[in-house]
Amino acid sequence: MGKYKFESTEHELFRKTLRKFLAEEAEVQYNQWEKDRLIPLDFWHKLGQLGYLCPQVAEQYGGLGLDFSFGVIIQEELERIGSSLIGVGLHNDIVVPYIEAYGTDAQKSRWLPKCVTGETITAIAMTEPGTGSDLANIQTTAIRDGDYYIVNGQKTFITNGIHANLVIVAVKTNPHAEKKHRGISLLVIEEGTAGFTKGRKLEKVGMHAQDTAELFFEDCRVPVENLLGEEGKGFTYMMEKLQQERLAVAIAAQSAAEDMLALTINYVKSRQAFGKSISDFQHTQFKIAEMATKVELGKTFLEALIEEHIAGKDVVTKVSMAKYWITENAREMSAQCMQLHGGYGYMEEYKIARRYRDIPVMSIYAGTNEVMKMIIAKNTGL
């Protein structure tokens, strides 16, 4: 698909340089990373050295002070390589912005510079074994004891869970709050804190190289100065930041859809059946036409949303629409593109097989698509 309207010469150069770097440092190694079930730390360090980690961070903390549009390019180019690289986007555009928005000057000075270099890898721990979309009902507690919070609980499905050495954890600082969401706070917990342990790396259907893990907190003593923002405001902070998180998921799904379409067009042109290219069959042409139309619609919608988001507008309803529709479209396309690849589509060496495994979870995480429809319905006045 074409470039975004907001892309300047600077954006084009940024994309070109990043694409070249990823071709050399990620694309050729990616299959091995999938087999190893992990992306190596040295790749994170290389991203940091070249300015591809948290480019939006202010220069005083080691960043480049760029706006979200450069983050969009990073997300797209990583997704072109493979969905297992989503942990980088999570670090850049989802977790670190919490520290930027709600952290004190001391906290920013302490944590942000290493987030930019890749020495620190972040995660955000909301989901629990018994609580997903219903964030107000988390059970992990953080009870104040002098200059510390004593944290007890368990988190699961945590992206970057194995590599992360700085985790923003949603906790109940007031388990008896009359309105449950008002008892929630955010604590920044560092690796090595006594009582904080990582569980196994979870085996997933797809995104094999992406490290998803369980986290455990047992009488974990966290200094009070690690409280992010105000006590009791954690739920509000998470709601404020979910707009960008869901937009990031839509961007990844759109990039995957564009990649699948390009892969499939190339395949059907080269594959012969009954004495001619399978791209000559009307059925193939109609399927490609349908998918190309939906990809173009998704791109146009997303472009408008990104511009409004960068301008600071409240686009929660539209972002919910984009997250739901674009991820559903990508999931449908993964099946159709695999079908058009025939038997080869089911073979591991063909990228479409990996896409078919990786894409379904996009309609689940960052709020299920059913939750997106609830938000749309509510904000439509129903």
Task: Please write the tens of the pLDDT for every residue from 335-380.
Answer: 999 999 999 999 999 999 999 999 999 999 999 999 999 999 999 9
Residue 1 has pLDDT above 80, yes or no: no
Q: Tell whether 96 and 208 lie within a shared domain.
A: no
Query: Is 352 part of a structural domain of the chain?
Result: yes
H or E segment to which residue 185 belongs: strand 184-190
The rounded distance, in Å, linking the Cα atoms of 46 and 186 is 30
pLDDT at 136: 86
Task: Please write the tens of the pLDDT for every residue from 23-41.
Answer: 999 999 999 999 999 999 9
Q: For residue 366, give Cα distances in angstroms to 19, 70, 125, 138, 197.
A: 27, 21, 12, 16, 24
The three-class DSSP label of residue 111 is helix
The pLDDT of 43-53, averaged and rounded, is 98
- CATH classification at residue 156: 2.40.110.10
pLDDT at 127: 95
- Please give the tally of structural domains in the chain: 3
Q: Tell whether 244 and 375 lie within a shared domain.
A: yes
- CATH classification at residue 334: 1.20.140.10
Query: Is 4 part of a structural domain of the chain?
Result: no
The contacts of residue 201 (CB under 8 Å, 6+ apart) are 37, 38, 161, 162, 211, 212, 213
pLDDT band at 147 (very low <50, low <70, confident <90, very high): very high
Of 100, 245, 258, 303, the active-site residue reads 245
Query: Is 203 part of a structural domain of the chain?
Result: yes
Strands (E), 202-305: 212-223, 227-228, 272-273, 276-277
Q: Tell whether 55 and 96 lie within a shared domain.
A: yes
pLDDT band at 2 (very low <50, low <70, confident <90, very high): low
Q: Tell whether 290 and 191 lie within a shared domain.
A: no
Does the predicted TM-score (pTM) go above 0.85?
yes
The DSSP letter of residue 312 is T
pLDDT band at 3 (very low <50, low <70, confident <90, very high): confident
The rounded distance, in Å, linking the Cα atoms of 297 and 272 is 31
Query: Is 1 part of a structural domain of the chain?
Result: no
Range of the structural domain that residue 141 is part of: 124-230
Q: Tell whether 111 and 147 lie within a shared domain.
A: no
Of 96, 120, 144, at which residue does a domain stop?
Answer: 120
pLDDT band at 152 (very low <50, low <70, confident <90, very high): very high
Query: Is 3 part of a structural domain of the chain?
Result: no
Query: What is the percent of the chain where pLDDT is above 70?
Result: 99
Q: Tell whether 134 and 259 lie within a shared domain.
A: no
**Based on the number of CB atoms within 10 Å of its own CB, is 232 exposed (0-12), middle (13-18) or buried (19 or more)?**
middle
- CATH classification at residue 46: 1.10.540.10
Query: Is 251 part of a structural domain of the chain?
Result: yes
The three-class DSSP label of residue 187 is strand
pLDDT band at 323 (very low <50, low <70, confident <90, very high): very high
Q: Tell whether 96 and 157 lie within a shared domain.
A: no
Q: Tell whether 286 and 340 lie within a shared domain.
A: yes
Phi, psi of 171 (to 5 degrees): -135, 160
Q: Tell whether 77 and 153 lie within a shared domain.
A: no
Contact 18, 66 (CB under 8 A): no
Q: Sign of torsion, CA 159 305 131 240?
A: positive
Q: Tell whether 38 and 102 lie within a shared domain.
A: yes
How high does pLDDT run on average in the chain?
A: 96
Active site residue 296: no
pLDDT at 131: 85
Query: Is 63 part of a structural domain of the chain?
Result: yes
Residue 295 has pLDDT above 90, yes or no: yes
pLDDT at 5: 85
Task: Please write the tens of the pLDDT for every residue from 213-271.
Answer: 999 999 999 999 999 999 999 999 999 999 999 999 999 999 999 999 999 999 999 99
pLDDT band at 78 (very low <50, low <70, confident <90, very high): very high
Of 230, 256, 282, at which residue does a domain stop?
Answer: 230
Q: Tell whether 179 and 282 lie within a shared domain.
A: no
HEC letters along 226-248: HEECCCCCHHHHHHHHHHHHHHH
Of 120, 147, 165, at which residue does a domain stop?
Answer: 120
Q: Tell whether 213 and 285 lie within a shared domain.
A: no
